[in-house]
Every structure is written in C-alpha cells, then in structure tokens.
Amino acid sequence: MGYNKKREDIDDILRIIIMLNKENKKVTCKSIAHELGQTPANINRILHQFNVDIKPHQALYKAKQLDKQAKQELELARKLLSMKTEKLSFKELMELSKFQGSVKEFKKFIARHHIPYFKHVWFIEKLRMIQSQEYSIKELYDRFNLQEHQISIATFRTRLYENDIPFKRIY
C-alpha cells in the first residue's frame, strides 16, 4: 500500500508539472507543493526518490521568458525607430517608451538598436571656442573638469568623435 501511494504521488507531481508547463508557470518544488497542498521538502524527496529532474522544465520556462522579452524588446525598438526620436532627450525617450528596466539597461537597449536621440553635451560649445587641436584628450578632459560631472573619459572621447572636435593625438 505504501508503494502505491508513492506511485500516486509521483503521478500527481508529473501531472502538475505538465499543467504548469502548459500554463507557462515556473516549475519548482514550491509551485508543485502549492498545487498539491504538500510541503516543498516532501515534493523534493519524492522527486529525488523517483529520480525525476525538474531542471529541464525550469530551463524551458526560462527560454520562453527570454523569448517573450526579446519579442517585446524588438517590438519596442520597431516602434521607436518608426518615430522621429532625434530631437528627444534620453529622459524623454525613456518616458515615451515606458521602458521596464533601469537607466543602464535602457542605454544598452538604445545602443543595441541604434535608436537616435538628442545628446545635449554642454562642453561641446565650449570646445568649439578654443583651439582644441592643441590639446590631448586628457588635457581637454581635465580642463573642463569633467570628472566632477561624472563623465568618463571614454564617453568624452566618443562625444569628441561624434561632433568632429579635433584634438592632439599622443602616441
């Protein structure tokens, strides 16, 4: 009688795993236990006893989630690329897109999809007023105290190239 009860338990667990997969829900011992009214530890013990691995089901769930995210990202990129975003600031673009994520993630998204936006760079106008070709990137960077404004030297160099600002090259 004890063995048949265990066999029924594993059959119920497998049925729940199939149901969770169909409903696109994450398969965990906790989610299975919730459905069956048992403890996660008991579910884990039964799975281990019958040598059932739920990791493939978890990987399937994760793959579906990543696919869903990729589709949503592509749809958002298409939407933004169809609009005139060149005159929008980064902040306005992020608000318009209703992006669900951090500023850093949005910057990566913008770069990955080559979405244009207005980059207000206050030091460019000042650079155009001096003979910038007489100074190295480091000298220009220090001259405008950009470290205090939390602008990295790599970003500064990128802005110089984007705006065709000449500078002295040191080899």
Taking residues 131-141, report their average pLDDT: 93
The span from the CA of 140 to the CA of 133, in Å, is 10
Mean pLDDT estimate for the chain: 88
* Residue 92 neighbours by CB under 8 Å, 6+ apart: none
**84-93, 117-126, 146-155 — which is least confidently predicted?**
117-126
The pLDDT of residue 6:
64
Is the pLDDT at 131 greater than 80, yes or no? yes
What pTM, to 2 d.p., does this model score?
0.55
- Tell the burial category of 124 from Cβ atoms under 10 Å away from its Cβ (0-12, 13-18, 19+): middle
Q: What is the DSSP string of 129-170?
A: TS-GGGSBHHHHHHHTTTTTTT--HHHHHHHHHHTT---B--
**Residue 140: pLDDT above 90?**
yes
Per residue in 74-101, pLDDT (tens digit) is 999 999 999 988 888 888 888 889 888 8
Residue 1 has what pLDDT? Answer: 41
For residue 4, what pLDDT is reported?
53
Long-range contacts of 114-117 (CB under 8 A, 24+ apart): 115/77, 115/80, 115/81, 115/85, 116/85, 116/86, 117/85, 117/86, 117/88, 117/89, 117/90, 117/93
- Asked if 61 and 25 count as a contact pair (C-beta separation under 8 A), the reply is yes
pLDDT value at 2 more than 80: no
Q: Tokens in use for 3?
A: 């063995």
pLDDT digits (tens, 9 = 90+) for 26-76: 999 999 999 999 999 999 999 999 999 999 999 999 999 999 989 999 999
